[in-house]
Structure 1
Amino acid sequence: MVQQLAGHRPERETASPAGATGSRRWPALAVLVLAQLAVWLDNTILNVALNTLASPDEGLAASTNQLQWSISSYTLIFAVMLFTGGVLGDRYGHRRLLVTGLLVFGAASLWAALSSSAPELIIARGAMGVGSALIMPATLSLISAVFDERERATAIAIWSGGSGLAIAAGPLVGGALLERFWWGSVFLVNVPIVVVALAGAMVLLPAARTRTRTGLDPLGVLLSTAGLGAVVYGVIEGGHRGDWTSTVVLGPLLGGLLVLAVFVAVELRVATPSFDLRLFASSRFTGASVSVMLTFFSLSGSMFYTSFYLQGVRGQTPFEAGLNLLPVAVGVLLGAPVSARLVRALGVGPVVSFAMLTAAATFWAYVRLDLDTAMVWFWLLMLVQGLALGAAVAPTTEAIMAVLPKEHTGAGSAVNNSMRQIGGVLGVAVLGSLLTSAYGSDVEPSLAGLPGPVAETARQSAEATRAVAAQAHLPRLVDAADRSFLHAMHLTSVVGACVAVLGAVVVLVAFRRPASDTL
């Protein structure tokens, strides 16, 4: 059915130079993994530097709100610009967009490292998001150009494993840098990665071109960017404020959804849409896309509260916390390639649904973590979680790319990466808001007797409670903060597990029978 809908599309020519074929295709994959390594590394590396940035002596004397937006400005721009990056790649060539994105990302990283104020850092982080949005769709599209169907699943599995490694390595690398250098080093580390990736891209990657360029749809690009921007902004603000009924939250959410509805109506009527929404007629395309979003919802939320558990409740340094998260990366690296072989034997539905149910079990297992849990059990939990996530993400990504016409691989890659980012934003915002609310309710009885403003400050987070305890010389409040945080984390982890179960159901239904709607 969708083949007929897509029949009018221009034929695509992938003019691969010799350097991108034969035995050199694997070095080409290494370049693409390295490019996305910088992007995913920057998703997590800043978290360990927040305390330093808040310091007036060692950092930028950033306020709490400024610290929140130093993270969110990157995520927001990254998420809303991904569609634009995919469309531009389909029109002008994915290697060209990759090189442009690397240049923007590298320059913005240098700008962030040298920022002299928190507002300047926030703007520089937004510019880094623009570069990331150009890089990510291009990497996956170039994998489709370099590898044939026989090897593409393995290549995508390696690509997915690289993202898992970067996510887990961020806190570790950031902690190691902060022990030796100033806070700007967590951004400056991107520059040599960009330089190597640029050199490799020019030598090894194909300069794919189209015989007939895909038409540019500026109205569609504008509507999708504005709509997604408003929705993601509302989600971020809701998580920051802990108040989802505020007009500052509801206004952007409802307005963004309205703009996205207009976007859908426009895209279904134009001759050359920025992204053909009729592709969602494929249950496999839709199921895989939604499954990716739900996976990253649970993963990003769990990484958020795991960091507070290790550094707050367990009193670990950022570097120690990073070391203890390494089993996740090991699991992802092992799970992704193994899943490619299992899918060939058993199919996407059974493999991915089992993997997501296993991941849900690991999120649920957080209810067993406490003050005295042996770290060997935590490492085992992280390893199994990584194995499950690696086995879930790689096949769904391959399923998305497998049903796409060649001239729309950039837009399809953008969907995949947008779903990851939007899922991550929702996971941190929703689960973070739930964590804060549950913590405040549980710790409130322990704050009785404190002055009103002091109690309100202490109620906001476990870190705030510990700060009040230190100033007022009340060690009992530290114990109360730990107990209440564990209660909140246990509750939040159950919600994350339920979302992962929902993802397992979605992918099992989408792939319940042999493909009949591939594109």
Structure 2
Amino acid sequence: MAAPNTASTAAAHPAAESSSPTGRQWLALGVLILAQLAVWLDNTVLNVALTTLADPDDGLGADPGELQWSISSYTLVFAVLLFTGGVLADRYGHRALLLAGMSVFGGASVWAAYSGSATELIVARGVMGIGSALIMPATLALIAQVFDARHRATAIAIWSASSGLAIAGGPLLGGALLDHFWWGSVFLVNVPIVLLCMAGALIWLPAAVRFVEHRFDPLGVLLSTAGLFAVVWGVIEGGHRNDWSDPAVWGAITGGLALIAVFVAVELRVANPSFDVRLFRNRRFTGAGVAVMLVFFGLNGSMYYTSFYLQGVRDQSPLTCGLTLAPVAAGVMLGAAGSARLVKRFGVRAVVTAALLTASAGFLSYIVLDEHTGLPLFWVFLVAQGLGMGAAVAPTTEAIMAVLPPDRTGAGSAVNNSLRQIGGVLGVAVLGSVLSSVYRGEISAELAEVEPGAAATAEESAEATRLVAERLRLPDLAAAADTGYVQAMHVAAVVGAAVAALGAVVFWLAYRRARAGRHSAHRH
């Protein structure tokens, strides 16, 4: 028993005379980066597989609502259980929770890969979200154990920057796999990553240094999960049914909002909340957190409909689709790399506001795309979108951490990550529903002469319309599907851009008020 503890102590507390991190520390950081990469990769890898999953022969024949849920079930569960993952990690040890999370994530990935129906895939993706919620809080805490104060900031910066790789890596990896294997391979690829992480964790990561007893907040977890699920279900079903007056739709949305209100009231009364809403009393924290949530609304929504545009309207293969989307990652990395210098020169308020507006302009630029737009112009839009995202996220995260007292940084980080995921879930749900509703309106006139049963099938989505057009040998209907989808994408792009721009306004106002109050206090 002595040897492991000695190794753990050595990893957690390097010799004082060491002027740079040891090889063991770098290997430990590599394990944590790989663990994080697996989590974020599954936020993006599925996007290029959506068209395949919608195919009844090559995929699962999933309808638009099921496709939205295949993305949202993962991010929704991930978002609401992040706090619980942090509590469990503090109580049972961060390495133990990382290993447990990896086991759940890996097992659920195999389940997802061999799912026999869209419903089974949705459930498996939700279980993957549980694993991710156990992994993420442990990774940052383990960096704090492995690196001392001199090197911790550098290690965290490298760890944070690595998440940007998932933006490019997800679509590229998914596209490459789908070009050679069946759709389940995009999940099965997680297994070797999980095995490498678990082996590396046992060798290079420190065991528990201390255990902290926290009380659980099961009521908070239940209320937040049920409330968000009901709202997202109502939004997705409203678009899928194209009937927002349906009692099931508006009942789910209003009931979900009521549960969220009860959740907030409960969280204000408990000592160890599952989601610390008290942090929102700080204006800067609220402004920054809400701004990031709204820009992730636009980002995740745009990634959802872009895949159908490239693979459906432009008839790209999954791999070509992944390559087409790669410039956005270049923009993210360039924006993140230059953000610190810009903040030093112009201040966080000006830089983040401008970055959020740039990202919003990138989302809005989709309105000029049609069935024949040259890809170089599309790449320009993607780079601009990525520059805005990269230049906004890092300074905003630093701003959030800067306004929190040291004993609240863990809770603040969890809330910040949860807001990003919630924004992404709502982006896919709302913009996906806008897409479905507008597309039905665009294509309905073209289906007047089609047999009612086939017309009902064709109305489901552009992919369904193309399948009906191919079966009935109606090339004009296939062309109408492309045109209708582009029009629907334009409307969704305007909504997504408007929401992201609202994030810029929220950040600008929140920081102006906070700054004015601080200056006033100094004058007195």
CA deviations over 1:206-248 (Å, ceiling 9, x no partner): 5565675344333333333333333334344344444443333
In the TM superposition, what are the counterparts of 1:39-118 in structure 2 within 5 Å? 39-50=39-50, 52-53=52-53, 59=59, 67-116=67-116, 118=118
Q: 1:357 and 1:16 mapped to 2: Cα distance?
A: 46
Structure 1 residues 313 and 414, CA gap change in structure 2 (3 angstroms): same
Question: Cα distance 1:352–1:28, how it changes in 2: closer, same or farther (>3 A)?
Answer: farther
Find the aligned partners of 2:241 and 2:140 in 1 and give their Cα distance.
Answer: 35
Tell me what 2:416 maps to.
Answer: 416
- Aligned partner of 1:509 in structure 2 is 509
Give the secondary-structure state (helix, strand or coil) at the position aligned to 1:131: helix
- How far off is 1:128 after superposition? 0.9
Is 143-152 or 132-141 further displaced after alignment?
A: 143-152
Aligned partner (choices 11, 18, 31) of residue 19 of structure 1: 11
Q: Write the mapping of 1:217-256 to structure 2, written as runs, cut at 5 A.
A: 217-256=217-256
Per the alignment, residue 35 of structure 2 pairs with 35
Match of 1:23, SS state, is: coil
TM-score by length of 1: 0.86
Give the C-alpha shift of residue 321 in structure 1.
0.5
Between the aligned partners of 2:476 and 2:88, the Cα distance in structure 1 is 57
CA shift in 2, pair 1:473/1:243, >3 Å: same
Structure 1: distance between partners of 2:305 and 2:404: 36
Check whether the contact 1:294–1:423 (CA below 8 A) recurs between aligned residues.
Answer: yes
- CA distance in 2 between counterparts of 1:62 and 1:434 reads 18
1:258 alignment partner AA: A
Q: 1:214 to 1:406 in 2, by over 3 A?
A: farther
Range moving further from structure 2, 208-217 or 173-182: 208-217
CA–CA separation in structure 2 for the residues paired with 1:51 and 1:80 = 28
Larger displacement relative to structure 2 (262-271 or 494-503)? 262-271
Map 1:231-310 to 2 at 5 A: 231-310=231-310
- Assess if the C-alpha contact under 8 Å between 1:158 and 1:333 holds in 2: no
Q: 2: CA distance between counterparts of 1:56 and 1:191? A: 26
- Aligned residue for 1:251, secondary structure, equals helix
2:506 is paired with a residue whose SS is: helix
* Cα pair 1:158 1:336 within 8 Å, conserved: no
Q: Matched residues in 2 for 1:236 and 1:142: separation? A: 38
Contact residue 156 and residue 394 of structure 1 kept, 8 A = no
Report if aligned partners of 1:86, 1:412 keep a CA contact under 8 Å in 2: no
8 Å Cα contact 1:436-1:461 kept in structure 2: yes
Cα pair distance change 1:432/1:150, threshold 3 Å:
farther
Q: Secondary structure at the match of 2:287?
A: helix
Q: CA deviation at 1:290?
A: 0.6
Whether 2:143 is the aligned partner of 1:132: answer: no
Give the aligned partner of residue 355 of structure 1. 355
Q: Provide the rounded CA distance (Å) in 1 between the counterparts of 2:206 and 2:40.
A: 23
SS at match of 1:355: helix
Alpha-carbon distance in structure 2 between the residues aligned to 1:367 and 1:490? 5
Q: 1:505 to 1:456 in 2, by over 3 A?
A: same
Distance 1:226 1:209 in 2: 35
Q: Is the 8 A contact 1:160 1:393 kept in 2?
A: no
Contact 1:78 1:133 (8 Å CA) reproduced: yes
**Residues in 1 aligned to 2:151 and 2:351: alpha-carbon distance in whole angstroms:** 19
CA distance in 1, matches of 2:56, 2:497: 39
Question: Partner residue of 2:488?
Answer: 488
Amino acid at match of 1:33: I
Residue 340 of structure 2 aligns to which amino acid in structure 1? Answer: A
Provide Cα deviations, 1:415-461, integer angstroms capped at 9, x if missing partner: 12221221111111111111222222223333332233333333332
For residue 178 of structure 2, what is the amino acid of its counterpart?
L
The equivalent residue for 1:365 is 365
Root-mean-square deviation (CA), in Å?
Answer: 3.1
SS in 2 for 1:484: helix
Q: Could you tell me how far apart the structure 2 residues matched to 1:229 and 1:221 are?
A: 12
Against the structure 1 CA distance between its residues 326 and 87, is the aligned structure 2 distance closer, same or farther, given a 3 Å change threshold? same
Which deviates more from structure 2 when the two are superposed, residues 107-116 or residues 427-436? 107-116
- Does the Cα contact within 8 Å between 2:469 and 2:475 map onto a contact in 1? yes
The Cα of 1:104 is off from its aligned counterpart by 1.1
- 1:60·1:117 contact (CA, 8 Å) conserved in 2? yes
Residue 253 to residue 156, structure 1, CA distance change in 2 (3 Å)? farther
* Whole-Å separation in 1 of the counterparts to 2:284 and 2:151: 20
Specify whether residues 274 and 128 from structure 1 end up closer, same or farther in structure 2 by C-alpha distance, changes over 3 A only. Answer: closer
Structure 1 equivalent of residue 335 of structure 2: 335
State the secondary structure of the residue aligned to 1:450.
Answer: coil
Per the alignment, do residues 412 and 440 of structure 1 end up closer, same or farther by CA in structure 2, a change over 3 Å counting? Answer: same
1:172 aligns with 2:172: yes
1:354–1:55 distance in 2 versus 1, CA, 3 Å: closer
Contact 1:220/1:267 (8 A) holds in 2: yes
Deviation at 1:504, TM superposition (A): 0.8
Deviates more, 1:374-383 or 1:226-235: 226-235
CA distance in 2, matches of 1:201, 1:404: 30
- Deviation of the 1:353 alpha carbon: 0.8
Change (3 A) 1:452 1:160: farther
Comparing 18-27 with 172-181, which one deviates more in the overlay?
A: 18-27
CA contact (8 A) 1:335 1:388 kept: yes
Provide the C-alpha distance between the structure 2 equivalents of 1:62 and 1:443, rounded to a whole number of angstroms: 20
Q: Which runs of 5+ in 1 are unaligned?
A: 1-14
Residues 58-117 of structure 1, C-alpha deviation per residue, up to 9 Å, x if partnerless? 555666665554444323322332232233334444333222211211122123334455
Residue 319 (structure 2) pairs with residue 319 (structure 1): yes
2:64/2:240 contact within 8 Å kept = no
Show the counterpart of 2:393. 393
The sequence identity of aligned pairs, in percent, is: 65
Q: Could you give the per-residue CA deviations for residues 254-313 of structure 1, whole angstroms, max 9, x where no partner exists?
A: 233222222222222233434443221111211121111101100011111111111111
Q: Which has the higher contact order (CA 8 A, sep 6+)?
A: 1
Aligned partners of 1:94 and 1:410 also within 8 Å = no
Spell out the pairing of 1:448-467 with structure 2 (5 A cutoff).
448-467=448-467
User: CA 1:45/1:219 → structure 2, altered by over 3 Å: closer, same or farther?
Assistant: same
Larger CA deviation: 316-325 vs 379-388: 379-388
Structure 2: gaps (5+ residues): 1-6, 15-19, 520-524
Task: Report the Cα offset of residue 358 of structure 1.
Answer: 0.7
- Whole-Å separation in 2 of the counterparts to 1:276 and 1:482: 45
- Corresponding residue pairs, total: 503
In 2, Cα distance between the equivalents of 1:62 and 1:490? 23
Alignment TM-score, normalising by the size of structure 2:
0.86
Q: Quick one: distance in 2 between partners of 1:356 and 1:493?
A: 15
Residue 460 of structure 1: SS of its match in structure 2? coil
1:239–1:194: structure 2 CA closer, same or farther, 3 Å change rule?
A: farther
Tell me, in whole angstroms, the C-alpha distance in 1 between the residues paired with 2:212 and 2:73. 36
SS in 2 for 1:179: helix
Paired residue type of 1:130: I
